[in-house]
């Protein structure tokens, strides 16, 4: 049976527009340029991916399609690009999980980087994306995060200097989240949503 491409027909430009809150929207608002967040997640004007982002997309698409690619990723039985959504009070939140194991249960995230020091155990333990997705699992399936197998696969990208690249051996990080963690993160989502509303109102006044 031919494998389906979980990335096909995925229109994130519309799916992730405000007032829906995704991890990428939240992270863009809190960590990067808020005007760029407004253009991308309110107006739907998204910048094309840069070279390194394109590599990440290519690697992400190849993992479910090619079982011989990165053979140490030995468990590919989950739902790739699993889309989960739920309500946090009156706020809709959504996520596209790289690989989701609903029966296990567990979540895998794949991260590519040319920086060999980009991921450490501490950085993975503090990474909000896995906390966000653990919250979505709890909202949808009432599975406490303590029961989730949470893994981040750090995939080194080795550039060749001629706009080609190879992938290094993935490094696996296991991490944990608690009910207290997702409750605290829920408060952060609500606070961020309020700040987004205020920023949008400010932009409308300036115009």
Domain boundaries, the chain: 49-188
Whether residue 10 is predicted with pLDDT greater than 80 in this model: the reply is no
* Residue 130 parent element (H or E): helix 128-141
Whether residue 6 is predicted with pLDDT greater than 50 in this model: the reply is no
β-strand partners of 74: none
pLDDT digits (tens, 9 = 90+) for 141-178: 999 999 999 999 999 999 777 667 889 999 999 999 99
Its pTM stands at: 0.90
pLDDT digits (tens, 9 = 90+) for 175-193: 999 999 999 999 999 999 9
Cβ partners under 8 Å of residue 108, min gap 6: 75, 78, 97, 98, 99, 100, 101, 151, 152, 153
Answer for the pair 107, 99: CB distance below 8 angstroms, yes or no. yes
């Amino acid at each position: 049976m031919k494998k389906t491409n979980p990335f096909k027909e995925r229109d994130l430009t519309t799916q992730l527009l405000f007032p829906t809150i995704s991890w990428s929207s939240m992270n863009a608002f809190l960590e990067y340029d808020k005007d760029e967040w407004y253009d991308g997640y309110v107006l739907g004007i998204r910048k094309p991916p840069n070279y390194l982002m394109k590599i990440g997309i290519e690697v992400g698409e190849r993992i479910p399609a090619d079982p011989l690619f990165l053979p140490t990723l030995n468990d590919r039985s989950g739902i790739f690009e699993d889309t989960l959504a739920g309500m946090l009070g009156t706020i809709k939140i959504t996520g596209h999980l790289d690989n989701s194991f609903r029966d296990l249960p567990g979540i895998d995230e794949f991260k590519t980087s040319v920086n060999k020091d980009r991921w450490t155990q501490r950085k993975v333990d503090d990474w909000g994306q896995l906390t966000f997705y653990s919250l979505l699992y709890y909202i949808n399936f009432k599975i406490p995060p303590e029961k989730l197998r949470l893994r981040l696969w750090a995939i080194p990208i080795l550039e060749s200097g001629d706009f080609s690249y190879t992938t290094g051996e993935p490094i696996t990080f296991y991490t944990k989240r608690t009910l207290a963690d997702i409750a605290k993160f829920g408060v952060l989502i609500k606070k961020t949503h309020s700040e987004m509303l205020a920023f949008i109102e400010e932009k409308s006044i300036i115009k």
